[in-house]
Amino acid sequence: MTLPALPGHPHFAYRDNALFAEDVRASELAATYGTPLFIYSKTAMLSALASYQRGFEGRDAQICYAMKANSSLAVLQVFARADCGFDIVSGGELERVQAAGGDLKKVIFSGVGKTRAEMCQALAAGIGCFNVESEAELDVLSEVAVAMKLRAPVSIRVNPNVDPKTHPYISTGLKGNKFGVAHEDALRIYQHAASLEGLKVVGIDCHIGSQITEVTPYLDAMDRVLDLVAAIEAAGIALAHIDFGGGLGINYSADDMPPEADALWRQLLAKLDARGYGGKKLMIEPGRSLVGNAGICITEVLYLKPGEQKNFCIIDAAMNDLPRPAMYQAFHAIVPVERAATETAGVIYDVVGPVCESGDWIGRDRILDVAAGDQLAVMSAGAYCMSMASNYNTRGRAAELLVDGDLARLIRARETAADTFRGELLMP
């Protein structure tokens, strides 16, 4: 019997009670490569991208993958080969784009703290645009560009003070956030940028947050940005493109009901057309919505530990592998890799890892029918898991696989202990 796909995960489904990633049995991959193990679906990534591409059909638009969500080289290759550009936030990420064969002219460099060295690196590479986040950064970037006898293409990130209705740690568009310049200061700062010898103003940028599940914040932000576009261009500064960032959420749970990307952009483009800016080039930087539901993490149950107040299911994955619950109190669905043929009541467990921190938990109060040695799948693990993974407790980072139909490829080898301290030097 083939059971329906898991909600929000059409490319991960049960067949005869066994979890499959596309056409590959997850338990067989875990037996071959060990656990914890990240498995990504190539089809899921391209399907998510296709929703954006449908939304922009017939428009002058560039989709730049926000690679901080998952910067594994093979993942970058998937998007580079699908004609995506890349949104980077460091010189290291630029080197990853180069290693993956990305088009450097389609690279946008975001982030509040670019160093002079990173500016030089990006200018020498010939990236498409710098998203500048402060007046001080404009001055430094101009100095660097003049010294290199170049002009840096810039877009200024404007903070529209719109509440994205998401977790405060991933909200980026309010007055209290560190990102962008204040809406009321934007025109003056654009005039300053246009006066600097080393800069060429090419666009305007806005990004209000991440894991957004409602349309209204996007519509509100677009209105505020378009008001600024009108004022800036009235002052004689032409803007070749408008960048609306990313931030669209995914289905971490049944309570998360974000719009599909194409449906969201139908509404946004209708507003853009109504305001008279439908002919502008558009830039967007989705990250989580392209990869989040394209990945799972397979982990083994090590011990079951009953207690007076809590029962603990201790697994071999930990906060260094799956940091989102510890950082944001985030939810990930947790399901068995091999499901019992007959449904049982199960026991309520907190699912925790072996790291020596009380914050090392993956799921609270989950009903599970498990025994030591069973395997679980942590769902929606494609974004902000491996890219934020660490070696805390000298734990090697997990292996990663990319599945395409019935083919699974190893795209990152599991780290050994020696890998984790390579580069460290002993005292004589």
Two tokens, residue 81:
């080969």
Question: Taking the CB of residue 360, how many other CB atoms lie within 10 A of it?
Answer: 21
> Which amino acid does the sequence have at 228?
L
Which is the catalytic residue, given 84, 120, 356, 385?
356
Q: Is-cis flag, bond preceding 4, omega within 30?
A: no
Q: How far is CA 89 from the centre of its chain?
A: 12
Per residue, the 3-state secondary structure of 28-61, as one string, reads HHHHHHCCCEEEEEHHHHHHHHHHHHHHCCCCCE
Q: Which residues are annotated as a binding site?
A: 247, 285-288, 324, 328, 357, 384
Q: Which residues are annotated as a binding site for pyridoxal 5'-phosphate?
A: 247, 285-288, 384
Question: Which of 50, 67, 69 is closest to 102 using CA atoms?
Answer: 67
Tell me 393's DSSP state. G
User: CA-based angle 387:388:394, to the nearest 5?
Assistant: 110
User: What is the spatial distance between Cα 139 and Cα 217, in angstroms, rounded to a whole number?
Assistant: 31
Contact between 86 and 107 under an 8 Å Cβ cutoff? The reply is yes
Q: Enumerate long-range contacts of 51-57, CB under 8 Å, 24 or more apart.
A: 51/260, 51/261, 51/262, 52/261, 52/262, 52/265, 52/284, 52/286, 52/290, 54/262, 55/261, 55/262, 55/263, 55/264, 55/265, 55/266, 55/269, 56/265, 56/282
User: What is the spatial distance between Cα 210 and Cα 66, in angstroms, rounded to a whole number?
Assistant: 11
The number of residues in the chain equals 428
Q: How far is CA 184 from the centre of its chain?
A: 29
Contact between 130 and 109 under an 8 Å Cβ cutoff? The reply is yes
User: Residue 356 catalytic?
Assistant: yes
Q: Which residues are annotated as a binding site for substrate?
A: 288, 324, 328, 357, 384
> Which amino acid does the sequence have at 51?
S
- Tell whether the torsion through CA atoms of 310, 316, 320 and 322 is positive or negative: negative
Contact between 242 and 201 under an 8 Å Cβ cutoff? The reply is no
User: What is the spatial distance between Cα 428 and Cα 425, in angstroms, rounded to a whole number?
Assistant: 9
Query: Which residues form the catalytic set?
Result: 356
